[in-house]
Amino acid sequence: MQVARVVVDVPLAHLDRPFDYAVPEKFAGTVQAGCRVRVRFRGRLVDGVVWELADTTEFAGALQPLSHVPSGEPVLTPQVARLVRAVADRYAGTASDVLRLALPPRRAAAEKRESPTPEALPAVPDPAGFARYPAGPALLGALAEGRPARAVWTALPGEDWPSRLVELCRAALSGRRGSLVVVPDGKDLDRLTAAAERLLPEHSFTVLRADDSPEKRYRRFLAASRGAAQVVLGTRAAMFAPVRDLGLVVVWDDGDDLHSDEHAPYPHARDVLVQRAWLDSCAAVVAGTSRTAEAALLVESGWAHELVADRAALRAAAPRVQALGEDFELARDAAARTARLPSLAFDTARSALAAGTPVLVQVPRRGYVPSLSCARCRAPARCPHCAGPLGISPRPGPGGGRIPACRWCARPAATFDCPHCHGTKLRAAVVGESRTAEELARAFPGTTVRTSGSTSGVLATVPAGPALVVATPGAEPVADGGYGAALLLDSWALLGRADLRAGEETLRRWTNAAALVRPAPAGGRVIVAADAAHPVVQALVRWDPAWLAARELADRRELGFPPVTRMASLAGSPAALAEFLAAARLPADADLLGPVPERPRPGQEGERERYLVRVPRAEGAALAHALAEVQGVRSAKKAPEHVRVQLDPLDLV
């Protein structure tokens, strides 16, 4: 008798294991390890995936047969199955949760279509693209030979990073090895796809994007699982793509929070790809214009080597960066520290426009005035009905004016009474890109002003002519020939956040914008509205993200913060949390922090609290096992209240 061990799609922690089912004779020629099936489970017909096939079972009773086999297509490869189990264990989740992230919904029409294969493998790429990085040609050679090289690559300003990443994939493909590249969003994926179309053979790569139709996404997924396309490019969900003969994994801009999945068990693409490189003994590249503390730890531990340019190449490629808080500028313009657009920024923008080049203006927030505060005590303005934040929409109200309104419940706030000081006047705590565009249109009359962001729509590119381009972080369009200047405004809104990652996140956003500016020898300038003595500003002025990442890592080691430690967030009602912690067998070195009120969310009801559990990095697996064990016990007991468990959360405030 053939036995199918099936992982059922049931989100209960105490059922996180395969269940044995008998394979009926009529399905014997169809069922394969990794195919989808339908089984009877606790009286219901549920979906499942065949984890493996066996000849025997340890179950003493009579096995239930498989109810239905929709397709014999093996969508779960043994390598991805092993990764699914490792990710579930690392994040205290279940295999069924991870499978929901890894496998797209089935579409029968896609399975009936053949997946075309490339006619020939490409040659090893020309190493000239990596010539400015001393170790770059050696990395290409290692990939072509199939060696598991690991690197943390800090890209130069103005680098054509999509072409460089595709060259890495081409080197691996020339040695008959597959590649997987994960980028944060669709805008980056479009650039990467365009480079792949130029540099890779037809049908040798496939693109997995979230906004594709279900049929198209599944068809492209099958091209990878069948081995037809050995290069997979995609956003976050592609981290589980079934690449055959995997030889390289790459994550671009790993500090972007879009790499962290919002669904249980909340895996991060960088950590999943690092885990995958270890499981499959393949090469790995963590790349970006900046560097995270996690990437710095990979270098410090010796797991990866730096891939950086020398200072001469950096000086030739980087724009000139100036801070508004420099002593010389303060002596020349006393308002440089407080004005939103001081004379240096104004003169720089005017000069770049006069030279016929576009100017990029980065503002940290979208909208018009997305955040208001009390004009007297500067406390955040809250809605008296739901405690949501007050803001101002760019659309005028019925009377022609712009009335503050709640961003949660949309109730207008015609009057305001501060609960702290009883002030009645409001001020803008943050100015969004729409309001900034209005201000710049008045300051530079006759100049074309474009906006790029989630409110107005994201622009992919802008022409080379003179224009002001106002963009939020991550929405900066690429200018033809590069920007003549960039103004990085409202730096305090980024640097002043109560967030563990505020410094490195600010530098990441700044370098991503400044990298689009022309080099200093070509007249490119970047003006940052911040104190020149701040370490993050110094890292930008010197263009040295590795220095800031090493400093951040040292500070976190001293304070006991990730990535030197592993931390879990437990959120729920006070009663549920007390029950959870009473049952948890935490490691001896665990440090319990809290409780604190959980930050309210739209539509959330009832009192909720949050604990943080911190352990040394070596105890991370033990912590995850302890938390998963409690989740299983509570699931078996049908606990009425859910406790949200998240390991290595990005947000610790």
The answer for residues whose C-beta is within 8 angstroms of residue 29's C-beta and 6 or more apart is none
Q: Using only the alpha carbons of the chain, give its radius of gyration.
A: 27
Q: Token pair for residue 424? A: 């009645």
What does the alpha-carbon distance between residue 6 and residue 422 come to, in Å, rounded to a whole number?
A: 62
Please check if 421 is assigned to a binding site: yes
CB 296 within 8 A of CB 546: yes
Name the percent of the chain in helix, strand, coil, to the closest 5. 35, 20, 45
Half-sphere exposure of 348 toward its Cβ, with a 13 Å CA cutoff?
28
What does the alpha-carbon distance between residue 123 and residue 146 come to, in Å, rounded to a whole number?
A: 14
Residue 91: Cβ within 10 Å count: 26
Q: Indicate the DSSP class of residue 542.
A: H
Please check if 35 is assigned to a binding site: no
What does the alpha-carbon distance between residue 494 and residue 599 come to, in Å, rounded to a whole number?
A: 19
Residue 384: Cβ within 10 Å count: 13
**DSSP string computed for 426-442:** EEEEE--HHHHHHHHHH
What does the alpha-carbon distance between residue 319 and residue 435 come to, in Å, rounded to a whole number?
A: 27
Q: Token pair for residue 646? A: 């998240």
**Beta-bridge partners for 427:** 373
Please check if 418 is assigned to a binding site: yes
Please check if 409 is assigned to a binding site: yes
Q: Indicate the DSSP class of residue 466.
A: S
What does the alpha-carbon distance between residue 469 and residue 357 come to, in Å, rounded to a whole number?
A: 11
Residue 377: Cβ within 10 Å count: 11
CB 194 within 8 A of CB 162: yes
Please check if 383 is assigned to a binding site: yes
Instruction: Give 72: exposed, middle or buried? Use CB within 10 Å, 0-12, 13-18, 19+.
Output: middle
Q: Please state at what angle helix 545-559 crosses helix 293-300, rounded to 10 degrees.
A: 90
What does the alpha-carbon distance between residue 548 and residue 293 come to, in Å, rounded to a whole number?
A: 9
Residue keyed to tokens 């950590």: 271
Q: Token pair for residue 66? A: 């498989």
Q: Token pair for residue 61? A: 């009773």
Q: Return the closest-CA partner of residue 513 out of 538, 488, 545.
A: 488
CB 612 within 8 A of CB 653: no
Question: How many whole angstroms from its chain centre is CA 164?
Answer: 20
List C-alpha distances in Å: 302 to 90, 218, 306: 22, 38, 10
Q: Return the closest-CA partner of residue 519 out of 307, 320, 380.
A: 320
Q: Token pair for residue 559? A: 């304070």
Q: For residue 65, say if its preceding peptide bond is cis, omega within 30 degrees of 0.
A: no
- Residue 609, SS3? strand
Residue keyed to tokens 């109730």: 411
Helix intervals (H) in 355-501 = 433-443, 492-495
- Residue 178, SS3? strand
Q: Token pair for residue 314? A: 């950096």
Please check if 386 is assigned to a binding site: yes
Binding-site residues for Zn(2+), please? 374, 377, 383, 386, 406, 409, 418, 421
Binding-site residues, please? 374, 377, 383, 386, 406, 409, 418, 421
